[in-house]
Amino acid sequence: MISFFTPQHEGHAPATEFLRGERVPCFESPARAHVVHAELVARGHELREPGDDCTALLAQVHSARYLAFLRNAWGDWLALDPANADVQPFPSIWPVRSLRSDVEPENFVARLGLYSMDNGSPLVAGTWAAAKAGADAAASAAEIVGAGVRSAFCATRPPGHHAGADFMGGYCFLNNAAVAAQAFRARGCERVAILDVDYHHGNGTQSIFYERADVLFVSLHGDPRTEYPFFLGHADETGAGAGLGFNLNLPLPAGTGVAAWFAALDTACARITAHRPDALVVSLGLDTFAGDPISHFHLQTADFSRLGVQLAGLGLPTVFVLEGGYASAELGVNAVNVLDGFERA
């Protein structure tokens, strides 16, 4: 399978994040992409650097003012104080409920809160370049698959499925799966499906397409009553307006085993088939693995090969986009097992 990879991901390497109120080393680190890259090389996958500029697609997925903020954020942070070069900025105030979000503040920390759903997406000097390169990879993958290649994989980071039209969160800045889906639509696909198999609900992807009937969003994930992102991902969220009926959430309780997870996948695949899409985008989160340090499902390494085989059974041109998965030692094997299972089938 052709896989897109770029060393620009290394520029996004925040040192710490907050976990239960304490600073801890970041779970989402460059090591994740390194182990996936190494496994791709070891198994003989073709690796390419992104060749497409996704700027026009980003403008169709994200708001103009959010993109402007993200592009300029590090420079604005340094403009406050050059010593900030050694400091990670974190938001400390958010415009919840009765507070206004339509007027963009001039204060940088206030704007950081305006465009953040949490304090779990630390910025550094190379964040924009890494995120943009990942989105370029999603556009490149959709381009070659739309031109006739059966499938492609984006072995990039940071992930994207928690990023909405105008906010970052959960390590995500630009929504790569949404960019790939929009790229398929731009190429003339009438209907696209996005399947999110990450442990955590892809709230950003859902919100981007929630009122659209051309892009079906299907997700199986940890129940948001107990699992991040908590405030989206319930089964009664089925779309709105033109998109009513084109959003399917399959929340599962923490501790879900392999049999129940694959039963939910059967339901997801049946809904995708009914949509009759021209192309499929898979938000490939590998944090369903039993050994993941921040998730609570029980898939084993061999189960990821089975996942690939089942997705191949849909018979669709497919783009895989790397999302979560924080058991770094096993991440590469688990990711490439999905791809090899898909190709063998």
Report, as residue numbers or ranges, the catalytic residues: 162
Helices 258-275 and 301-312 pack at an angle, to 10 degrees, of 20
User: Which tokens in the block code for residue 48?
Assistant: 């390419």
User: Which tokens in the block code for residue 166?
Assistant: 């105008």
User: Which tokens in the block code for residue 24?
Assistant: 């801890």
The count of C-alpha atoms lying within 13 angstroms of the C-alpha of 153, restricted to the half-sphere facing its C-beta, is: 25
**C-alpha 329, offset from chain centre:** 20
- Length of the chain in residues, anyone? 345
> 62: Cβ–Cβ under 8 A, 6 or more apart, which residues?
163, 165, 166, 174, 175
> Under DSSP, is residue 231 helix (H, G, I), strand (E, B) or coil?
coil
Distance CA 197, CA 111 (A): 31
**C-alpha 35, offset from chain centre:** 18
> Under DSSP, is residue 322 helix (H, G, I), strand (E, B) or coil?
strand
Distance CA 154, CA 320 (A): 6
Q: Which helix (H) or strand (E) holds 70?
A: helix 64-80
Residue 217 gets which letter from DSSP? E
User: Is residue 61 within 8 Å of 160, Cβ to Cβ?
Assistant: no
User: Is residue 322 within 8 Å of 156, Cβ to Cβ?
Assistant: yes
Q: 3 has which bridge partners?
A: 47, 153
